[in-house]
Amino acid sequence: SSRRLKVRAFSEEQEALVVKSWNAMKKKNTGELGLKFFLRIFEIAPSAKKLFTFLKESDVPVEQNPQLKPHAMTVFVMTCESAVQLRKAGKVTVGEFNLKDLGATHFKYSVHYEHFEVTKYALLETIEEAVPEMKIAWAEAYDQLAAAIQNES
């Protein structure tokens, strides 16, 4: 990929901010947050709905589709874990998932750079609403994770 992102140093303070705000968000309704996050994506980029097979094949309105929350939560949780790993290991690792597989999956479903950017924007808006002042650390953790996934495709 031509958009390889250089790994930047991730400070202890940034890690602490991401983890702290995630813990604060977890106490609220994370399902609601996740849903809001994805509805925001589709508001900005309605065509992104077509990427998800379970949305394409469903007659249920998007906001009522029960399959939407898990991917939304995954992005939240993995961005948070990315922050921890960036600080500890200096690079992104994706826990139970394999980066190569994740890269291949998103490539297969035609998820492009622009989708990652829109998703970042929606994620940061959601976080800003839930826990203001936490945006920059989340942005950095998200960028590194998204780049790691796209570099594998």
Please give the residue ranges that form the binding site for ligand HEM (CB under 6 A): 41, 48, 51-54, 71, 74-75, 78, 97, 101-102, 105-106, 109, 111, 115-116, 119, 145-146, 149
- Closer of 6 and 108 to ligand HEM (Cβ): 108
Q: Where are the alpha helices (DSSP H) in 45-98?
A: 53-56, 68-89
Pull the structure tokens for residue 22: 């995630």
Query: Residue 24 Cβ, how far from ligand HEM at the closest point, in Å?
Result: 20
- Closer of 93 and 105 to ligand HEM (Cβ): 105
Contact predicate 55/38, CB 8 Å: no
- Closer of 51 and 84 to ligand HEM (Cβ): 51
- Closer of 23 and 53 to ligand HEM (Cβ): 53
Contacts 24+ apart (CB under 8 A), 108-112: 109/51, 109/52, 109/53, 110/51, 111/51
Pull the structure tokens for residue 119: 């998703």
Query: Residue 59 Cβ, how far from ligand HEM at the closest point, in Å?
Result: 16
